Each structure stands twice: as C-alpha cells, then as structure tokens.
C-alpha cells in the first residue's frame, strides 16, 4: 500500500526572532548528539554537537541544550535569518561498542523564516 | 579540503534492475556510513564501513549491500530494485567510527525506480 509521509513539526518565525527547535531522543545510552540542517536538494549539514557530559554548548548564533533526565535536546538559533529556513534534524549516537558510528535521526522540524 | 562526494547525483532505474552508488569520503576519514532518506521513513541507517569491513548494519533486506576499498571510498549496491527503493541515498564520512566526532554528509544520490 501507499506509505504515509512523516508529518514534520513546523516552526514559522520572523526574521530577527530567536528560534527554538526541540527534539526528544530515544536511547538513554546515547552519549553524543548532533544537530543537522538540511536544505532542499542537499545533504544534511553539520551545525553543532554536544557530548553527554555537557548540558549546554554554544556556537555562532546557535546553542544546544541537553537534558538527559528527560532525554531532550533543543537547538536555539539567535537572530534567525531567511537563510536559516530548512529542515533541522537531531541525531544521537552511542560511542563505542557495537553501534560504531550509527546515527539515529529524529523526524526533523521544518523551520520557515519570514522576511 | 574537498567534502564528501557522491556519484551520480541522480539516477532513474527500472524495477528489477540493480544499481551501484559511489561515495568518496573526506580525505583522511576512514569511516563511511550510508543512509536512506524517504518522506515516509525519514533518515534510516543502512550500514557502516571501516577498514574495508562492514561494522554495523541497519534493518534493510539483503538486497542492499556495500563495500569499502582500501582508499576508504565506498560503494553501495541495491539489487532487484523495487518501487519503494526510490529515495535519497546519503553517505556520511567521519574520522573513525565509534567516537564522538562529527559525521559529514554528501549531497546524496537521488534514486528513482520506475
């Protein structure tokens, strides 16, 4: 039968606003997390990562927060620009062991920035 | 330095055919992973190669296979193509697997099965 597409969460913001994108991860054993941005027709682009021994990490205009208690990640984008419009994915990984480099991705969030 | 290169970018195949996709990782990166991206299932892990050996495999049928060469370049093969194999196939490279280092993706190969 037909496959049903994922209904991705969407976030619409005005240019200059701050954006917060949330992600619930699945495996309490995951110890490394990455946020990716994917624009139409392109592969995922690395934005920022965080290890499980941290709860916050800042980059240029972006901040990632990790709450291991509730298995929650968030990506904050400051002063959002139209060029930030894309699908954002969180990914989790278990370093070492038999999982090796396998990344498990969230479903993604569509961010639309209006000028 | 050059990023991850995937070829071809676009491919149209007929049901029942087989296809081979290629991935050249970032210079110095020795781990290559493959992912399938579809609107219905999102991004799903296919397999990972390191030192010419498959180290991990996702939940895909045996029609999906891959290999890695001594220069770390990787290929994946899908035999007996089905309509549902239509997807964006993404390759990611990282320095070594199982470490807390980022994985960088290529642009992907868009496969359409008709």
> In a structure prediction context, what are the per-residue pLDDT tens digits for chain B, which is 114 residues long?
679 999 999 999 999 999 999 999 999 999 999 999 998 889 999 999 999 999 889 999 999 999 999 999 999 999 999 999 999 999 999 887 656 678 899 999 999 999
Please report the pLDDT score of residue A97 as a whole number: 62
At A86-101, the pLDDT tens digits run 999 999 988 766 666 7
pLDDT at A34 over 60: yes
Residue A14, min C-alpha distance to chain B (Å): 27
Interface test with A, best of B6, B98, B106 (most A CBs within 10 A): B98
Interface test with A, best of B4, B6, B42 (most A CBs within 10 A): B42
The answer to whether the CB atoms of B56 and A4 lie below 8 A apart is: no
Residue A13 near residue A80 (C-beta atoms within 8 A): yes
Report the distance separating Cα B33 and Cα B105, nearest Å: 9
| Nearest-CB residue to B33 (from A98, A101, A108) | A101
Q: Which residues of B58-87 are buried (b: 16+ CB within 10 A; e: fewer)?
A: bebeeebbbebeeebbbbbebeebeeebeb
**Residue A96 Cα, gap to closest chain B Cα (Å):** 4
């Amino acid at each position: 039968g037909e496959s049903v597409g994922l209904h991705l969460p969407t976030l619409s913001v005005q240019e200059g606003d701050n954006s917060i994108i949330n992600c619930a991860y699945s495996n309490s054993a995951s110890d490394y997390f990455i946020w990716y941005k994917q624009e139409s027709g392109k592969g995922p682009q690395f934005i920022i990562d965080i290890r499980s021994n941290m709860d916050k990490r800042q980059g240029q205009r972006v901040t990632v927060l990790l709450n291991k208690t509730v298995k929650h990640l968030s990506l904050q984008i400051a002063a959002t620009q139209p060029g930030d419009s894309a699908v954002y994915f969180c990914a989790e990984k278990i370093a070492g062991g038999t999982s090796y480099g396998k990344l498990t991705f969230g479903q993604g969030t569509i961010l639309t920035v209006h000028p | 330095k050059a990023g991850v290169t995937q070829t071809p970018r676009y491919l149209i195949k007929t049901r029942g055919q087989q296809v081979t996709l290629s991935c050249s990782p970032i210079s110095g990166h020795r781990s290559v992973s493959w992912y399938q991206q579809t609107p219905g299932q999102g991004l799903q892990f296919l397999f990972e190669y390191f030192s010419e050996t498959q180290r991990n495999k996702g939940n895909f049928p045996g029609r999906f296979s891959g290999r890695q060469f001594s220069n770390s370049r990787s290929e994946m093969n899908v035999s007996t193509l089905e309509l549902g194999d239509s997807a964006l196939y993404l390759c990611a490279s990282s320095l070594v697997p199982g470490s807390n280092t980022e994985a960088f993706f290529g642009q992907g190969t868009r496969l359409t099965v008709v």
